[in-house]
Structure 1
Amino acid sequence: MKNTVAALGLIALAASISAQTLSYPQTRKVDHHDTYHGQRVADPYRWLEDDNSADTKAWVKAQNAVTDKFLEAMPQRLPTRKLYTELYNYEKFGIPFKEGGRYFWTRNDGLQQQSVYYTAAKLGDKPTVALDPNQLSKDGTVALSGFVPSPDGKLVAYGIAASGSDWQTWKLRDLASGKDLADQIDWVKFSSASWTPDGKGFFYSRYDAPAPGVALTGANYFQKLYYHRIGTPQSADQLVFENKDDKQWGFGAEVSDDGSLVYLGIWKGAGSKNALAVLPLNKGSYVAGSKVQIIDQSFDAQYQAVGNDGNMVFVKTDNGASRGRLIAIDLKKPERANWKTLIAETADTMTSAHAVGGRFLMGYLRDASTLVKVHGRDGSFIRDVQLPGVGSGAGFGGKWTDTETFFSYTSLTTPTEVWRYDVATGQASVFQKPKTPFEAEQFETRREFITSKDGTKLPIFIAHKKGLKLDGNNPTVLYGYGGFNSPMTPTYGITAATWMKMGGVYVIASIRGGSEYGESWHEAGTKLKKQNVFDDFIASAEWLIAKKYTQPSKLAVNGGSNGGLLVGAVVNQRPELFGAAVPQVGVMDMLRFHKFTIGWAWTGDYGSSEDPTEFKALLAYSPLHNVTSMRNYPAIMVTTGDHDDRVVPAHSFKYTAALQAADTGSAPKLIRIETAAGHGAGKPTSKIIEERADMLAFFANTFKLDIK
């Protein structure tokens, strides 16, 4: 057999590489077409979908050779990486929680590959290491995907994932000895563990192991809920619940504080709509064969059980309230006519609800920044939680009997702080406030409102050095997501901090498709209305240019996953509006996304090419299918990981091949393929620094910035 690379003609590297002269690997085209509702659509790079083939691996190697040479030649690369590393190197803490009379929290000393779990009996005590994931692999690519102590605080069920994969293996560890038990749970994805109060085992969801040589696809990709008893093999785990009539059901289990119930959140896709059920426990123990009680399975809204008082279950929902409300459901009379509103919908968007210390702690978004309100058992308002400023708050978890809770606060220019909150008195005190090399007092952030194409107003958050001149010459990065009910709120990140230290402006756009203004805001950016998302992002760019923050040649756009789709779509639609773009692990083939791994679950947001009307909408914006020749595109660097099993790398591979084959001008069209990481979760620190610093250096090189 001829050498694979030579046979495909993949490698044709230029002697020297610059922004103006690039020679890309020649990507083989095949004569493949699919017919959708009578319309033939070419798919010349279908062979790149097989990321395990020798041909695709050769293509990856050839593409990385071009990209590596380009990046190594950039004078901005090393100083940007140095600055990024310096800003990353500070002590970081997670939000503490309490179990079995002990506190647990994460800490990273600065540049550790993975954060370490610590524990202490009292907050003032010297903590000890509960579990250090850095000991699980030499290169730091094995990360914790879950950490759930037993009710007595003596054991911990923990999940691990390798190379950024969504697949998890769960194990049990004795915290006193630091030794693992023999228990091992495989084929877990999108699930945590929830212990029964007797400490004898836990609930979890998993997939069936596929037959040898059979890939997991939408056809056989469904969850079942199990109970694992300590000391028994996984083969002996008890099947608690499945739906043979609708195998798209997935399960999240959480045991109630009083140990009488298991709340079951049942999902059918990546959207926010779900069904709700409960499973009774017998004095804190699971009894095999116990019957699940379905409370609601209409999948018409979000239903999240928050707590219960005997048979009365408190549920956060957007049923009948786009911006959310808290209701009480009597399990003896669960019909909708008997539901009672405890906390009514307001003008702000309810994003979280916790039952702690005999109170309800309710999180809200007001114009994409966090508010928290405290209510009594009857729903009556007690007080506001005073947050440090306009930013993002998270946490506030705990049990009904706890007297305290913890939360984090951050903004674009405020590194994440962790606070303790006394639920009874309303007093907040700092638990950990990081000391960072980022001089926050030298920077400022503001919220502005812009108007989209159809007249819709939306907020954007802008951060930069104080004293910025609005002369249109500022290098600017615009970041967005716009999907799956996920809000974009102002949070501190090293990428933004580094860019600002480099003299740039960093902007977050809270566009439709998220949950900033409730479910109606989310739905306004889905399926046949997805173009609203792109219009909002384009309007944000146009506003920044009109207000002279920047100009097209100095405006970069960035987003990941669904945000990568966003970047690909707006660059196709308005290439002249941007100077540079980095779509990360993007969903680029909108006609076939549902055929890979968990992609079928995204049809609630995107629709499906199997529907004739939705097919037309998807084809109209699909990044892969709308790359247009004879237009000058900005400099583009696609990033992905060849281990990504959520948004499979074929999306980025095929999109890059299409970009390089088209006549889109002399600006570089590169792909950076990480060969030891997946979608991003659990990525080791060194890989984060390398990838994100390369992105900023790519922007700086495009904008001809002098980085010292």
Structure 2
Amino acid sequence: VYFHKLGTPPSEDKKIFFHDTVKEYWHDAAVTEDGKYVVFYRSIYNQNEVYFKRVGSDEPLIPITTSFDAQYSVDIIEGKILIRTDKDAPLYKVYITDIEKPDQQYWREFIPEDSNDMLQYIAGIAGHVYAVYQHNAYTRVKIFTLEGKYLRELSFPTIGTANLTGYWFQPDVWVKFSSCTYPSTIYRYDFGNDSLILYRKYPVEIDVSNFTTEQVWYKSKDGTPISMFLVHHKDLKKDGNNPTLLTAYGGFNISITPRFSTSKVVWLEAGGMVAIPNLRGGGEYGQEWHKAGMLEKKQNVFDDFIAAAEWLIDNGYTNPDKLAISGGSNGGLLVGAATVQRPELFKVVDCAVPLLDMIRYHKFGYANVWAEEYGSSDNPEQFKYLYRYSPYHNVINGVKYPAMIITGSENDARVDPLHARKMVARLQEANPHGEPILLLVQKASGHHGGTTLSVRIEQQAQTLAFLMQQLGMNAPE
């Protein structure tokens, strides 16, 4: 972290928060709303340490936590430090202490860990503390006083994803809300009347009133219950013939929650349905859910995804000739592994910026930092399970694989495009007269696009066109 004084050249910036030897650490800093303090974070993977100091002070940083034993986030409000953490609380809890007593021995429980819902974050807004939870992968919000008294829960139009912003000393509470069939909308929350007041509705020239979102549960291979959102036309018929896009992520403690997506609506308008399961490895149900899908337990994620496909087929939503799967990055690894393990389940695959060679992935770019999630083949024990599921190493000659479009980006420092290139070559070698296996490498893109809007639209259009063509769908007029 560098300190830059406005009006001075960058050459005069001072490096104020760093580590001399561990280059994998992430460093961050944030000034509190009242402008009195700076909070410093040093993180690696899902653990961090936190310091603070008064703005303008030359005194050493004051530690809040330095043990790298859990994940911590800090808010400083009116002389109080609020600490959200998963220390001994996989679904997170909140402690509070006085600014003069930051040491952990003085921390007092402010919001206890919930028995079912994961606490995503807290926000001090308009004189109240808003605790934002994930309940079955969608948003719930509870409101507290700074003294810790529970007041009420904030209601939303439907199940979906909400983000709350605002300032402690300002009266407005801003709520951005969307769901799979509810376009992004900004509300102002009227605390006195406990109501959401429409502020802005983003213009979307799509009629979503004919579509609906439902949440179902199914069992994975080992019996673990998995939640899944289904988005489809209200008049959908369970005749086993609906073109279905099954998409998921399942990794890095990242939650996949119901959000509005114009590309998904295009799929719906073309007569398809979308299925979004919340796999182990993600963050939807807390840190234990994440740990159940990482390292030697990564196969659980693939089993969860495959079980979702089987459930959709068994329950009359679709069939293998009408089932497309899609995933990017870690989700690309997911669909790559599912494809080589159960190729007969899927008709077509969108595999974007994927990790596919799990034996050598850590040797390129800065992908070595993902070893915390996957493990490393440099470790003999971890090599065994990585080799068992590595998609590239499990392609078998003569097997009929589904059609695939595998994409990469030349400027991707996280996932080298060599994965896409190698996998396409191996699949074409394995079955040279099989279904089309396409390679698309973008020359002006990074891991998350990193390019112009027009290029991103073109990429989406190319992928959707390929998936729809393989399933016999017609683009909506």
Per the normalisation by structure 2, the TM-score is: 0.95
Select 1:299's aligned residue among 61, 68, 74: 68
CA deviations on 1:177-233 (whole Å, 9 max, x unpaired) are xxxxxxxxxxxxxxxxxxxxxxxxxxxxxxxxxxxxxxxxxxxxxxxx210112222
Q: Which residue of 2 aligns with 1:278?
A: 52
> Is 1:553 the counterpart of 2:310 in the alignment?
no
Deviation of 1:408 (Å) = 1.3
8 Å contact from structure 2 (residues 254, 283) kept in 1: yes
SS at match of 1:352: strand
8 Å contact from structure 1 (residues 356, 423) kept in 2: no
Q: Answer with 244-253 or 385-394: which moved more.
A: 244-253
- Residue type at the aligned position of 2:389: Y
C-alpha distance in 1, partners of 2:238/2:406? 30
> Is 1:231 the counterpart of 2:7 in the alignment?
yes
> Is 1:655 the counterpart of 2:429 in the alignment?
no
CA deviations on 1:26-57 (whole Å, 9 max, x unpaired) are xxxxxxxxxxxxxxxxxxxxxxxxxxxxxxxx
Select 1:351's aligned residue among 96, 100, 120: 120
SS at match of 2:441: strand
Q: Which residue of 1 aligns with 2:17?
A: 241
8 Å contact from structure 1 (residues 375, 382) kept in 2: yes
8 Å contact from structure 1 (residues 369, 489) kept in 2: yes
- Residue type at the aligned position of 1:391: G
CA deviations on 1:487-515 (whole Å, 9 max, x unpaired) are 11111101210011000011111111111
CA deviations on 1:403-450 (whole Å, 9 max, x unpaired) are 112121111111111111234553321111134222111111110001
In 2 relative to 1, CA 430–683 (structure 1 residues): closer, same or farther, beyond 3 Å? farther
Counterparts of 1:103-142 in structure 2, within 5 Å, are: none
CA deviations on 1:83-122 (whole Å, 9 max, x unpaired) are xxxxxxxxxxxxxxxxxxxxxxxxxxxxxxxxxxxxxxxx
SS at match of 2:90: coil
8 Å contact from structure 2 (residues 449, 456) kept in 1: no
8 Å contact from structure 1 (residues 274, 299) kept in 2: yes
- Residue type at the aligned position of 1:259: G
Select 1:478's aligned residue among 229, 241, 246: 246
- Residue type at the aligned position of 1:603: A
C-alpha distance in 1, partners of 2:175/2:381? 45
Deviation of 1:538 (Å) = 0.6
- Residue type at the aligned position of 1:416: S
C-alpha distance in 2, partners of 1:627/1:297? 45
Deviation of 1:258 (Å) = 2.2
- Residue type at the aligned position of 2:137: A
Deviation of 1:555 (Å) = 0.5
C-alpha distance in 2, partners of 1:296/1:506? 43
Q: Which residue of 2 aligns with 1:172?
A: none
> Is 1:433 the counterpart of 2:207 in the alignment?
no
CA deviations on 1:558-615 (whole Å, 9 max, x unpaired) are 0111111111111111111111101111122222332333322222211222222222
Q: Which residue of 1 aligns with 2:409?
A: 641
8 Å contact from structure 1 (residues 403, 422) kept in 2: no
Deviation of 1:336 (Å) = 3.1
The structure whose RCO (Cα within 8 Å, separation 6+) is larger is 1
Deviation of 1:664 (Å) = 6.9
Q: Which residue of 2 aligns with 1:193?
A: none
- Residue type at the aligned position of 1:321: A
Q: Which residue of 1 aligns with 2:446?
A: 678
Counterparts of 1:460-609 in structure 2, within 5 Å, are: 460-609=228-377
8 Å contact from structure 1 (residues 404, 423) kept in 2: no
- Residue type at the aligned position of 2:372: G
8 Å contact from structure 1 (residues 558, 582) kept in 2: yes
C-alpha distance in 2, partners of 1:552/1:632? 13
> Is 1:261 the counterpart of 2:37 in the alignment?
yes
In 2 relative to 1, CA 423–228 (structure 1 residues): closer, same or farther, beyond 3 Å? farther
- Residue type at the aligned position of 1:421: Y
C-alpha distance in 2, partners of 1:641/1:464? 32
Counterparts of 1:207-222 in structure 2, within 5 Å, are: none
In 2 relative to 1, CA 594–275 (structure 1 residues): closer, same or farther, beyond 3 Å? farther
> Is 1:688 the counterpart of 2:456 in the alignment?
yes
Which structure 2 residue ranges, 5 or more long, are not aligned? none
8 Å contact from structure 2 (residues 399, 430) kept in 1: no
Deviation of 1:706 (Å) = 3.8
Deviation of 1:330 (Å) = 4.2
SS at match of 2:157: coil
C-alpha distance in 2, partners of 1:344/1:273? 20
CA deviations on 1:366-388 (whole Å, 9 max, x unpaired) are 11111111111012111111111
Q: Answer with 437-446 or 683-692: which moved more.
A: 683-692
C-alpha distance in 2, partners of 1:429/1:664? 59
Select 1:321's aligned residue among 85, 89, 97: 89
SS at match of 1:499: helix
- Residue type at the aligned position of 2:156: L
SS at match of 1:235: helix
SS at match of 2:366: helix
In 2 relative to 1, CA 664–425 (structure 1 residues): closer, same or farther, beyond 3 Å? farther
8 Å contact from structure 2 (residues 137, 255) kept in 1: yes
C-alpha distance in 2, partners of 1:335/1:609? 40
- Number of corresponding residues: 475
8 Å contact from structure 2 (residues 33, 167) kept in 1: yes
Identity of aligned residues (%): 38
8 Å contact from structure 2 (residues 50, 63) kept in 1: yes
From the CA coordinates, give the structure whose radius of gyration is larger: 1
C-alpha distance in 1, partners of 2:81/2:363? 38
SS at match of 2:209: helix
Deviation of 1:646 (Å) = 2.4
C-alpha distance in 2, partners of 1:642/1:461? 33
C-alpha distance in 2, partners of 1:517/1:446? 19
Q: Which residue of 2 aligns with 1:381?
A: 150
Deviation of 1:663 (Å) = 2.4
> Is 1:341 the counterpart of 2:122 in the alignment?
no
SS at match of 2:186: strand
C-alpha distance in 2, partners of 1:643/1:503? 35
Select 2:393's aligned residue among 625, 634, 641: 625
Q: Answer with 358-367 or 323-332: which moved more.
A: 323-332
C-alpha distance in 2, partners of 1:614/1:625? 15
What root-mean-square deviation, in Å, do the aligned CA atoms of Structure 1 and Structure 2 show? Answer: 1.7
